[in-house]
Amino acid sequence: MNSVGEACTELKREYDQCFNRWFAEKFLKGESAGDPCGQLFKRYQLCVQKAIKEKDIPIEGLEFMGPNKGKTENSS
């Protein structure tokens, strides 16, 4: 699947490959320490944010996943 921005598609492919490799070769075997794909994700995320601005895609009211977004404030 292509990214929202054409310029981001290659970064998405690189991140997807890294994540899928880490997930299969490390995470599923109980080795979840480290974040080998974090820098790729940050580069891809910045590219997508730029593409959203350039295309005037409205994002008001949307929540995005990221650090500390896994739980709501009211969850126990």
Task: Tell me the pLDDT tens digit for each residue of 51-70.
Answer: 988 888 887 766 665 555 55
Residue 48 within any structural domain of the chain: yes
Cα 75 to Cα 12: distance, rounded to the nearest angstrom: 32
Residue 20 within any structural domain of the chain: yes
Residue 66 within any structural domain of the chain: no
- Judge contact between 6 and 54, C-beta under 8 A: no
Range of the domain at 46: 4-53
Q: Which residues have a Cβ under 8 Å from the Cβ of 18 and sit 6 or more positions away?
A: 36, 37, 40
Q: What is the CA radius of gyration of the chain?
A: 15
Cα 27 to Cα 53: distance, rounded to the nearest angstrom: 34
**Which residues of the chain have a pLDDT value below 50?**
71-76
Query: Structure pTM?
Result: 0.70
Please state the domain count of the chain: 1
Query: Residue 66's pLDDT is what?
Result: 55
Query: Residue 54's pLDDT is what?
Result: 86
Residue 41 within any structural domain of the chain: yes
Residue 64 within any structural domain of the chain: no
